[in-house]
């Protein structure tokens, strides 16, 4: 799903939500980043889902809380 990007300042272009994960595509990057409950924690995935659906705050949240906790 395309990221709503309410404030038009996010580097995130698309996201995909599953039960236990959030996958995001950043502009200028050819591959997606998948964050899972196992890699980032259930609480973070829950918050990321909410922010993705709102279209605001997801990029900042990722940078501040789970930046390198994606699945390799």
Q: Tell me if 56 sits within 8 A of 4, measured CB to CB.
A: yes
Q: Is residue 60 part of a domain?
A: yes
Q: pLDDT digits over 2-37, tens only?
A: 544 445 556 888 899 999 999 999 988 889 999 999
Residue 6 within any structural domain of the chain: no
* pLDDT surpassing 60 at residue 42: yes
- How many domains does the chain contain in total? 1
Token digits of residue 58: 């997801």
Q: 3-state class of 17 per DSSP?
A: strand
How far is Cα 22 from Cα 58, in angstroms, rounded to an integer?
11
Q: How far is it, in rounded angstroms, from Cα 68 to Cα 72?
A: 10
Residue 50: predicted pLDDT: 96
How far is C-alpha 50 from the chain's CA centre?
10
Mean residue pLDDT of the chain comes to 89
Domain of 28 in residue numbering reads as 12-66
Residue 35 belongs to a domain? yes
CA distance 54 to 3: 9
């Amino acid at each position: 799903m395309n990221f709503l990007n309410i404030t038009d300042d996010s580097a995130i272009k698309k996201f995909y939500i599953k039960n236990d994960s959030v996958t995001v595509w950043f502009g200028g990057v050819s591959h997606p980043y998948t964050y899972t409950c196992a890699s980032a924690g259930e609480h973070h995935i829950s918050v990321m889902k909410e922010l993705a659906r709102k279209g605001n705050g997801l990029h900042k949240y990722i940078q501040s809380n789970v930046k390198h906790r994606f699945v390799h």
